[in-house]
């Protein structure tokens, strides 16, 4: 007879071949006269269950132990009962077996992958939001600049305002420093007064550019020959003059108290003026 097994919740897993063997042993024991009435009733109940459900019959550990006690006189019977008991215990152990190292590692890798994907998605979302806010004003700040970072003269490329004296031409790596004046720093101020004035200067320059008549012209920086465009000249930035309705924005900001004159000669510049914190003390 081929071997077959079936598992039912809360009971033993019985191999079909062993079940038939066990039924034969129970019938043999019932034919003997040495059983007590209780043992005879117990074996009859187990045999009835095995006859009715076959390999799907569920026997508890306690029932299997009683079978071992009753059928233990015959080595063959005892071996069949013990085999069934071992099958039950092994099935229950496999049901509650702890996860292997490989499965734990796989689950950990999946969780880490989900976490990394979530972090990457968050970074991309933040970058997208930042780019939207950063590039949104471009249409309002259209101006004309040189096609090349080092080409002198005006052409038609848009730019954005970085702060009161710096703009950034779209498509260029570095910014363009507006010459002839210096505004308070808003990114690295030396005092709170300078930071507030730097914010106001930036906002005012945006207002001027938004008028729609801004024109940016690239000019040579006051640097040593051969250094323009490198970190040794104006931190790698180009230089320019920005006019609105024909007026230099530097002169407008100076007149409004948001900038001070800063004029370089030849290839040398004086010390950058930053009087805003000195005025506060």
Condensed to tens digits (0 to 9), the pLDDT of residues 103-129 reads 777 888 888 888 888 888 888 887 665
Residue with tokens 């013990």: 82
Residue with tokens 């505004």: 183
Q: List, for residues 131-176, the tens digit of each pLDDT value.
A: 444 433 333 333 333 334 566 787 478 999 999 999 999 998 999 9
Same domain, 90 and 161: no
Same domain, 276 and 150: yes
Residue 263 — left, alpha, or beta (φ > 0 → left; ψ -120 to 50 → alpha)? beta
Same domain, 57 and 31: yes
Same domain, 129 and 219: no
Same domain, 128 and 255: no
What's the CATH number where 216 sits?
2.40.50
Q: Name the domain count of the chain.
A: 3
Contact 236, 229 (CB under 8 A): yes
Same domain, 193 and 78: no
Same domain, 235 and 153: yes
133: three-class secondary structure by DSSP = helix
The pair of structure tokens assigned to 263 is 């004029």
Q: Cα(176)–Cα(144) distance, rounded to whole angstroms?
A: 12
At 166, phi and psi to the nearest 5?
Answer: -140, 135
Give how far the C-alpha of residue 263 lies from the chain's centroid of Cα atoms, to the nearest Å: 49
Same domain, 110 and 193: no
Tell me the pLDDT of the chain averaged across its residues: 77
At 163, phi and psi to the nearest 5?
Answer: -150, -165
Same domain, 162 and 261: yes
Contacts of 236 (CB under 8 A, 6+ apart): 173, 174, 229, 230
Q: Cα(263)–Cα(272) distance, rounded to whole angstroms?
A: 9
Predicted confidence pLDDT, tens digits, the chain (281 residues): 444 444 444 455 455 557 788 888 888 888 877 788 888 888 888 888 888 887 777 778 787 888 788 887 544 444 444 455 455 555 555 554 555 666 777 888 888 888 888 888 888 887 665 544 443 333 333 333 333 456 678 747 899 999 999 999 999 899 999 999 999 999 999 999 999 999 999 999 999 999 988 999 999 999 998 888 888 898 899 999 999 999 999 999 999 999 999 999 888 899 999 999 986 55
Range of the domain at 111: 101-137
14: three-class secondary structure by DSSP = strand
Contact 146, 154 (CB under 8 A): yes
Same domain, 12 and 47: yes
Same domain, 167 and 183: yes
Same domain, 128 and 246: no
């Amino acid at each position: 007879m081929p071997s077959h097994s079936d598992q039912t919740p809360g009971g033993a897993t019985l191999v079909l071949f062993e079940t038939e063997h066990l039924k034969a042993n129970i019938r043999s024991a019932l034919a003997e006269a040495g059983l007590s009435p209780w043992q005879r009733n117990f074996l009859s109940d187990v045999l009835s269950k095995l006859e009715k459900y076959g390999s799907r019959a569920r026997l508890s550990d306690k029932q299997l132990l009683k079978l071992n006690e009753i059928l233990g006189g015959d080595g063959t019977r005892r071996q069949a009962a013990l085999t069934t008991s071992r099958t039950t215990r092994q099935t229950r152990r496999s049901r509650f077996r702890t996860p292997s190292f490989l499965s734990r590692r796989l689950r950990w890798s999946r969780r880490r992958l989900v976490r990394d994907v979530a972090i990457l998605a968050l970074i991309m979302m933040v970058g997208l939001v930042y780019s939207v806010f950063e590039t949104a004003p471009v249409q309002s700040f259209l101006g004309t600049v040189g096609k090349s970072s080092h080409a002198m003269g005006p052409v038609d490329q848009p730019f954005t305002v970085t702060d009161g004296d710096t703009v950034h031409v779209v498509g260029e790596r570095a910014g363009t420093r507006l010459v002839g004046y210096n505004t308070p720093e808003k990114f690295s101020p030396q005092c709170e007064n300078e930071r507030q004035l730097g914010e106001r200067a930036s906002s005012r320059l945006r207002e001027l550019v938004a008028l729609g008549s801004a024109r940016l012209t690239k000019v040579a920086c006051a640097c040593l020959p051969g250094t323009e465009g490198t970190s040794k000249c104006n931190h790698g930035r180009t230089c320019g003059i920005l006019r609105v309705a024909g007026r230099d924005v530097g002169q407008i900001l100076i007149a409004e108290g948001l900038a001070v004159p800063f004029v370089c000669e030849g290839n040398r510049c004086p010390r950058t003026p930053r009087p805003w914190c000195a005025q506060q003390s």
